[in-house]
Amino acid sequence: MALGLTLKPVTQGTVEVTVTQNIHKQDTKDPARTAAPANVDIALMKAGDTIASVVLLADDRVLLPNQTDPVARGLYKVGALAGEAARTEDANEDAEVTNSMAVHVVEGDEQGLWVLTTSDPIEVGTTALTFVKEPAPPAAAHAIGGAEHTADTLANLNTKVSDATLDDAGDARPPQAHTHTHASTTGQTATDHHDNINDPTAGQKAALVGTGTPSGGNPYVSSDDARMTDDRNPTAHTHVLADVTDSGTLAGLSTVGTSELGDEAVTNAKLAHMAQSTVKGRAAGAGTGDATDLSVAQVKTLLALVHSDLGSVGFDDHKTVNTVQTTDNVATTIATIPLADNTVVEIAVNVVGRRTDAGARIGGMVRATVYREAAGGVVVEGVSKDLDKSVAQYDVNIIGSGNDALVQVTGNTGHTVNWRTVLSSNLVA
């Protein structure tokens, strides 16, 4: 009888693929190294990340049971770089992911047995998945010497094991690491440093009561000796400043000599504060003495800038040096003298000028008397000039402008002339 069957050859490759597919369909999968307790960004997951206290390695199997998107939950294989993580080969097809699929998590904070509770049929990438961690089994009980004990306690063991059950060889076992205190050390010989043999005898102690003196035969000093207390007075001695430490502000020293101060040790910040517009000096007094803060008037006196005193009419000689450069024949101000109300000033200007590209020059003196009445402008009276110049255009003049007297110089067009004046002013108010 013919059955009409067609036989196909079976190769080793066909068998391997079929066996692999059947293994993947089993409910229990290969263990996962760790499981994530919360949502994980799968696109960024890579080797080196830490999940549930486990540092991931490339090719680690990781269970993601708590993804915010339940469709994304499942078993994943970790790649070396971000973007390489993907579902494992044994749980990436519909036939491989079924109700009651179990995965053992072997490391990390979430280790234990996890079970898929989603009902069949399941379509990977479409069906929402729910994984539940099974509770740990109760501690196993066992019997020791007729009494049962749980796996995490041996509370009754001492009632079942006696010294007679241990042979003498047990004493030869090396002890665990431990320490000794001085008080716990026993059995020392008379030469050991902590033996009482080194204590003084009663006679030696008696000989040292009060102020006993150590000697070759009795090298001990009693704690009762006054020389062993903090009340002892040191022998008279001296100290140099280098010996003094932690001295604070050195308030206890009566004086600090210049020999104790280093060169350039006193800074401006350490000097006494000074009033504004003053300098340090000594205006009067024979010999040497302390420096004081000098006023402007005192400084002028010391520098011989005030030549006389005309009683109620003050006479002030004020000298200033001014410079300017001209490149044309326009009058240019080189000095400005402001006048207060009701003042008269005699102005004397010594002037020199030189053209930079030739020997053209000017020199001499210009004088003028200027005054200003209350609420009025400056008036110039009688300007006198005594000038030597090689260029006719060169000139020096004194004019009034508002409340000021101006000293002006004039050069010539197309040439640079450097000017310098020394101005003296005698004022009376």
Asked if the structure places residue 45 within a domain, the reply is yes
Asked if the structure places residue 210 within a domain, the reply is no
SS (H, E, C) 392-407: CCCEEEEEEECCEEEE
**Percent of the chain beyond pLDDT 70?**
65
Asked if the structure places residue 182 within a domain, the reply is no
CA distances from 80 to 31, 108, 406 (A): 20, 20, 86
pLDDT in tens, 366-385: 999 999 988 889 999 889 99
Q: Which of 113, 133, 153 is the last residue of a domain?
A: 133
pLDDT in tens, 313-365: 233 456 789 999 999 999 999 999 998 899 999 999 999 999 998 889 999 99
Neighbour-count burial of 406, counting CB atoms closer than 10 A to its CB (0-12 exposed, 13-18 middle, 19+ buried): buried
Parent domain of 85: 14-133
Q: How far apart are CA 125 and CA 72, in angstroms?
A: 7
Q: Which of 83, 117, 133 is the last residue of a domain?
A: 133
The mean pLDDT of 24-34, rounded to a whole number, is 82
Asked if the structure places residue 280 within a domain, the reply is no
Asked if the structure places residue 101 within a domain, the reply is yes
Q: Which of 73, 100, 133 is the last residue of a domain?
A: 133
- pTM, entire model: 0.32
Q: How far apart are CA 87 and CA 101, in angstroms?
A: 15
The mean pLDDT of 197-221, rounded to a whole number, is 62
Higher pLDDT, 297 or 208: 297
Asked if the structure places residue 287 within a domain, the reply is no
CA distances from 369 to 276, 384, 400 (A): 33, 10, 11
Half-sphere exposure of 152 (CA within 13 A, CB side): 2
| Number of compact structural domains in the chain | 2
**Which residues, in sequence order, are bridge partners of residue 17?**
none
